[in-house]
Structure 1
């Protein structure tokens, strides 16, 4: 029979040996993962304001550029009560400024009129005092002349009295008349000095009157009252102008706030593809509601499982080869994290579900080097696709260190 031929037996032996080599060679030259998954992070785009979606938002699978508008939101129900209150306050302040300025202008005219009247009164008073001084000086001259006549008459009578012609009584009468005229001269000079002082005071704007009279005329008093009122109005005008300015600043800020709440746009944070969306045209949204998720294809990862016994053989920085199921292409990658089977993993920020561990398998995350996958937005950058990952060993076969490790592990398991 053919099975008894030596050539047949040798051929079958060689085939079995080849099969054994093919089966054992991958384990001798490296580590091959169980099924893994292409994964990537996504960004959650939330509603920037309350409102309603205007227009059709970008569909799922649509590629987006950084800064591109994803969806527009309009909010016609913005509260404008504060804006109306600020506008009313500003208008009130401006109206107050206008009314106060009008009153100030009227008082300024009255002040000018009073100043004119005061100037007329002052000039009239100065003219009257000057005439009075001139009249008194004439009287002084007359009194001096009369005093001179009285002195001459006294001297004549003294001379006649010494000759016995006149009596002593007539001399005394002449002496008394001289004293009267001398006193009148002195009184007239003092009156002139007094009027001159009043004249000098009036020229300086100080009106000096007699007892029981006010030293300030009515025009000056009224003018002082008007000036005080004008100063008060200036203070109130400045106060209302400052208030209007500050309210204007608040008004500008409130207008900007309302403008930002009336409409807003959800912006793409980076280049990627729309992974999912929760809105349609006309949807009502609330601030910070999730609108859509944008897949970040700038960095792609592969999450895989390997037997935990090989944990120490795989480390961050180790090169890896990745192959997608159904494709012959091999992509280069690099290990970025190695975790045990019981480690708590993050899932909220990743688009694909990570492989579920049912055995003692280490969780390995490999970052793929940039390739055409990063721009394959039409296929969501192949996220969620099944892959196999292989890590190469430094040598082939069992070395002394590996054999020693295997023996120690076996001994620990038995005893």
Structure 2
């Protein structure tokens, strides 16, 4: 019988030994996981304002590039009452400032007229006073001449009195006449000085006279107009300042209204539309989820391995990843190592994570950049099952013996 041949038995033994080596050698030289899944994060696009979708949004599976418009929302029911009120207040301030400027211009013209009238009055008054001074000076000259004549007559009569020709009464009469002419000269000189002082005051713009103020009516009226002009300048400045401030508020309110009336959402990175909850014309509310965009820039894989190999796997360790059904092998690096009971986030991932079992560690590996990152037509292979292998530095016989001794002791 063929089974009794020595060569056949040796051959069968060698085949069984090779089969055993094939079965157990991968487990001795490394860690292999068959429950891995290609995964990635996605960005949730929420409604920035209330309104309705104005244009057809990007469909599921459509690749998007950074800066590309994803959707546009229009809100025709934005409250514009505050903006209208500010614009009315701004226009009112400008109208008040314009009206005050017109009034100021009219007063400036009136002031110029009053100044012209005052100048004419001043020149006329100066000319009249100068003539009066000249006339008085002529009178002084006449009075001085008469005083000289009176003094000569007095001297003559005194001489005749000393000779007994004239009486003392005639001499006293001549003395009185000389005193009168002398007084007339002094009065004329004082009057000239008074008129010259008055003339100097008029030249300085001060008018002195009986029943007059220091300035005429035109000057008083001009001063009143100047006070009013200064008041108008203050009010004009206040209204212009108010218009500027309201203009700033209008700009801010316009920006706010524009931001609420229309909003366009742009893609912040290259990716692909993972899901969409809207169509053209859909009504949306603020912060409602509209769509999700898959971020293919950083792909990763979550796997489960026995916790006995926890210490053999560390952050930065390299691994090999192969998609089921494909022969391509992709490089990966360990990102994190967690125990089986660790709580991790789930809502930000596009694919389900492997369900942990007892005594299993959860390992996350980052896939190196490859063609998977740009395979937008297949959603970057997110959700695809993979096989992951991490090589060991030794077979770990010593560790197995120690763990076996610990379990039976």
Query: Normalized against structure 1, the TM-score is what?
Result: 0.95
Question: What is the deviation of 1:122?
Answer: 1.1
Tell me the equivalent position of 2:52.
52
Structure 2 partner of 1:234: 233
Instruction: Tell me how far 1:410 sits from its aligned partner.
Output: 2.4
Q: Report if aligned partners of 1:340, 1:361 keep a CA contact under 8 Å in 2.
A: yes
What are the superposed Cα offsets for residues 366-407 of structure 1, whole Å, 9 maximum, x if unpaired? 111122111111111111111111111224x4xxxx343333
CA distance in 1, matches of 2:376, 2:39: 14
> Which of 398, 403, 408 is matched with 2:402 structurally?
408
The answer for the alignment partner of 1:157 in structure 2 is: 157
Corresponding residue for residue 172 of structure 1:
172
**What is the DSSP-based 3-state SS (H/G/I as helix, E as strand, rest coil) of the residue aligned with 2:243?**
helix
Give the deviation of 1:223 after TM superposition: 0.8
Please, which moves more after superposition, 60-69 or 134-143?
134-143
Deviations 1:150-174 (A, max 9, x none): 1111101110111112222222221
Alignment of 1:165-314 (within 5 A): 165-210=165-210, 212-314=211-313
- The unaligned stretches of length 5 or more in structure 2 are none
In structure 2, C-alpha distance between the alignment counterparts of 1:408 and 1:4, rounded to whole Å:
42
Q: Secondary structure at the match of 1:373?
A: helix
Distance 2:316 2:104 in 1: 83
What SS does the corresponding residue of 1:258 show, helix, strand or coil? Answer: helix
Q: Paired residue for 1:123?
A: 123
More displaced, 138-147 or 67-76? 138-147
Distance 1:91 1:333 in 2: 67
Q: 1:7 to 1:411 in 2, by over 3 A?
A: closer
- Measure, in 1, the Cα distance between the counterparts of 2:198 and 2:167: 48
Which residue pairs with 2:329 in the alignment? 330
Answer yes or no: is the 8 Å Cα contact 2:33–2:389 preserved in 1.
yes
RMSD over aligned Cα atoms: 1.5
Q: How does 1:88-167 map to 2 (within 5 A)?
A: 88-167=88-167
**Partner in structure 2 of residue 3 of structure 1:** 3
Aligned length: 409
| 1:226 Cα deviation from its structure 2 partner | 0.7
1:342 maps to what in 2? Answer: 341
Question: Partners of 1:414 and 1:161 in 2: how far apart?
Answer: 179
Task: Answer yes or no: is the 8 Å Cα contact 1:34–1:306 preserved in 2.
Answer: no
Deviation at 1:13, TM superposition (A): 2.0
C-alpha contact (below 8 Å) 1:332/1:369 kept by paired residues? yes
Q: Distance in 2 between matches of 1:277 and 1:387?
A: 27
* Residue pair 2:37, 2:386 contacting (<8 A) in 1 also: yes
Matching of residue 392 in structure 1 with residue 386 in structure 2: no
Q: Return the alpha-carbon distance in structure 2 between the equivalents of residues 286 and 235 of structure 1.
A: 49
Distance 2:277 2:353 in 1: 23
In 2, are the aligned partners of 1:114 and 1:220 still within 8 Å (CA)?
yes
Aligned counterpart, 2:43: 43
Question: How far apart are the structure 2 equivalents of 1:134 and 1:32?
Answer: 132
Query: Is the CA contact 2:205–2:215 (under 8 Å) kept in the aligned structure 1?
Result: no
Q: Is the 8 A contact 1:46 1:266 kept in 2?
A: no
TM-score between the two structures when normalised by the length of structure 2: 0.96
Q: 1:304, CA displacement in angstroms?
A: 0.2
Q: Paired residue for 1:83? A: 83
Match of 1:378 in 2: 377
- CA drift of 1:72 comes to 0.8
CA-CA distance at 1:228 after TM superposition: 1.0
Other-structure match for 1:72: 72
Give, in whole Å, the separation in 2 of the partners of 1:76 and 1:150.
112
SS in 2 for 1:357: coil
